Structure 1
Amino acid sequence: MGTPDFAVPALKALIASHHEVVGVFTQPDRKGGRGKKLLCPPVKVEAVEAEIPVYQPERVRKNADVLQTLKDLRPDVVVVAAYGQILPQSVLDVPRLGCINIHASILPKYRGAAPINWAIVHGEKESGVTLMQMEAGLDTGPILEIHRVAITPAMNAQELHDALSDLGGEVLVDALDKLEAGNLPATIQDDDASSYAPMLTRESGRIDWEKSAQQLVDHIRGFYPWPGSYALREIPCAEAGAQDDLECSTLKVHAARVAVGAGSDALPGTIIQADCSSGTLQIATGEGVIELLKVQAPGKRAMKARDFLNGCDFSVGERLL
């Protein structure tokens, strides 16, 4: 049971192993892209290519047909990786060895929908993949194995996603063999040490210049590529007769770093350096100075700060919101 790219390496590992994949459950096809065409989930694409039966129920909970289909498949174990639906106890009880979830954090920290993003946003130095025995609670089941990876200072959420996705595929088959042999003991989670990683929204990416430069760098890394990080800039209204009015334009920030050794008494969000020749674009924050490395103006492609400064009218003293 899985849906996005994150789950594909796990499915590939199972297909290539001595285990038999008797069925794949994934989310229904959805419209997406510029043309709003009907798109198949990545897991479905992989399953169809391997000629594995695919099931795409809109809802799993309180769905008698789904429950009966699963019973008819008679699975020994169900592997779940970013499926996108909460499984009811009736489904969890079907497989002989239970349901095993591949969760992209070191549980009990970062239970929930977006553990990869929030680990980076909060400045964590490591993350990992937890294999857990599922129960009715949200990522609360007993831990079977934890496999760790370092979060390097420049790593963004997409890079960590790819690393953890591959890691899940690498460790899964061996863990299932241990489970079948009865050699995979479970450890109850410490609820007091738990934290929650809520679902992301467009507003999650809004930059708060009152935070420190390091916190903002982590914010930009953690929300790349989605929902992305952005600030607002006030510009004169383009409508005729409204020269004195201002409207907000969005500036997306794709990459940044702490400006080591730089300091400023300017209000947070104030541009303190915008040098076309050196390509230096620095902003005052609540603590320290941040240097924007890659940005994107409305209707434009993402570009390095030097190229951006050559074609814009940013000026020292202007304040981003």
Structure 2
Amino acid sequence: MGRKHHGAEALRWSLSRGIPVVGVLTDHHLPGSPTAAVAREHGLPLLTLEEATAAIEAGTLRFELAVSYVYWRILRAPLLGAARLGVINFHPAPLPELRGTGGYNVAILDGHREYGVTAHYVDEGIDTGPIIECRRFPIDLEHETAVSLEARSQAMMGELYRDTIERVLEHGRLPTTPNEGGRYVSRREMEELKRIQPGDDVSRKIRAFWFPPYGGAWIEHEGRRYTLVDDALLRQLSPEPPLFPRSDEG
């Protein structure tokens, strides 16, 4: 189960490793889905969550392990109980601290000094299952953006995925630690956090939600929303030196 190119890369590695894959759950209804493209390339069945659930109930879909890699649907029975080795989710944020969505954004907003990615077993909650492993790395508090934090996180999560699957192949079900506490952020809350409020650290909020082409930190003027960008991000977008100096440079 996965989406976008991160899920596609995880699927491609699994196939190169010779792991039998009996089905792929992804956003294959969307044009250009990279995970669906890899599945079609290898002749793998593409399923919706509803189709997979029906097949499990009918006894026509059987598997030892299920993997969720940046998959957006909440998983329930009977899927959770169908795999002898469980369902493992790869969460692009450190657990137990940051559950739900918006991990990159909240970590920058709240001034976290480190970030991480997590492998955990899935239960009925959202990112609440027992933790297999959380790998962490330091955050650059002065320059980190949501884009840069995602890039660093996904590189580490790819390594965590490969190492975790290798361990499952060798040992079966893996030992865990409790997943207790932390903060859950919904998609609605994340969108509300984007609005710049009095007293905000504006530069930090801009970086926290800098993820083009999606809307970032915004203000409202005459009934319209405007996404803000600062000079540092503009310079990243255009590495060439400007033809004319900025007004504050004389």
Normalising by structure 2, we get a TM-score of 0.81
Shift of 1:47: 2.1
- CA separation of 1:127 and 1:95: change in aligned 2, threshold 3 A: same
Shift of 1:73: 3.7
What secondary structure is seen at the aligned counterpart in 1 of 2:12? helix
Deviations along 1:94-147, one digit per CA (max 9) or x if unpaired, are 111000000111100111122222222222122111100111111111111111
- C-alpha distance in 2, partners of 1:4/1:255? 28
Of the candidates 26, 51, 54, which is equivalent to residue 46 of structure 2?
54
Shift of 1:170: 1.7
1:253 aligned residue: 228
Deviations along 1:199-245, one digit per CA (max 9) or x if unpaired, are 1565442211322x3xx322111211233112234xxxxxxxxxxxx
Deviations along 1:10-47, one digit per CA (max 9) or x if unpaired, are 223212223222221013524xxxxxxxx243321232
- C-alpha distance in 1, partners of 2:55/2:26? 12
- CA separation of 1:105 and 1:74: change in aligned 2, threshold 3 A: same
Structure (1/2) with the larger helix percentage:
2
What secondary structure is seen at the aligned counterpart in 2 of 1:74? coil
Deviations along 1:26-82, one digit per CA (max 9) or x if unpaired, are 13524xxxxxxxx2433212322333221134x47xx8524347x534221111012
- C-alpha distance in 2, partners of 1:50/1:254? 42
- CA separation of 1:45 and 1:163: change in aligned 2, threshold 3 A: farther
1:262 aligned residue: none
Matched AA of 1:189: N
Aligned residues: 240
Structure (1/2) with the larger strand percentage:
1
1:121 aligned residue: 109
1:208 aligned residue: 197
- C-alpha distance in 2, partners of 1:15/1:218? 41
Superposition pairs for residues 71-90 of structure 1, below 5 Å?
71-90=59-78
Instruction: Flag structure 2 segments of 5+ consecutive residues without an equivalent.
Output: none
2:167 aligned residue: 178
- C-alpha distance in 1, partners of 2:34/2:126? 24
2:100 aligned residue: 112
User: After alignment, is 121-130 or 180-189 more displaced?
Assistant: 180-189
Are the aligned partners of 1:228 and 1:252 in contact in 2 as well (CA < 8 Å)?
Answer: yes
Matched AA of 1:74: R
- C-alpha distance in 2, partners of 1:123/1:91? 37
1:100 aligned residue: 88
Matched AA of 1:130: T
2:179 aligned residue: 189
Are the aligned partners of 2:68 and 2:90 in contact in 1 as well (CA < 8 Å)?
Answer: yes
Matched AA of 1:20: P
What secondary structure is seen at the aligned counterpart in 2 of 1:87? coil
Normalising by structure 1, we get a TM-score of 0.65
- C-alpha distance in 1, partners of 2:109/2:91? 18
- C-alpha distance in 2, partners of 1:11/1:255? 37
What secondary structure is seen at the aligned counterpart in 1 of 2:95? coil
Matched AA of 1:217: S
Measured on the aligned residues, the alpha-carbon RMSD in Å equals 3.2
Are the aligned partners of 1:12 and 1:169 in contact in 2 as well (CA < 8 Å)?
Answer: no
Are the aligned partners of 1:8 and 1:42 in contact in 2 as well (CA < 8 Å)?
Answer: yes
Are the aligned partners of 2:28 and 2:46 in contact in 1 as well (CA < 8 Å)?
Answer: no
- C-alpha distance in 1, partners of 2:16/2:215? 34
- C-alpha distance in 1, partners of 2:144/2:203? 11
Instruction: Flag structure 1 segments of 5+ consecutive residues without an equivalent.
Output: 31-38, 234-246, 258-292, 296-300, 311-321
Are the aligned partners of 1:26 and 1:55 in contact in 2 as well (CA < 8 Å)?
Answer: yes
- C-alpha distance in 1, partners of 2:203/2:7? 28
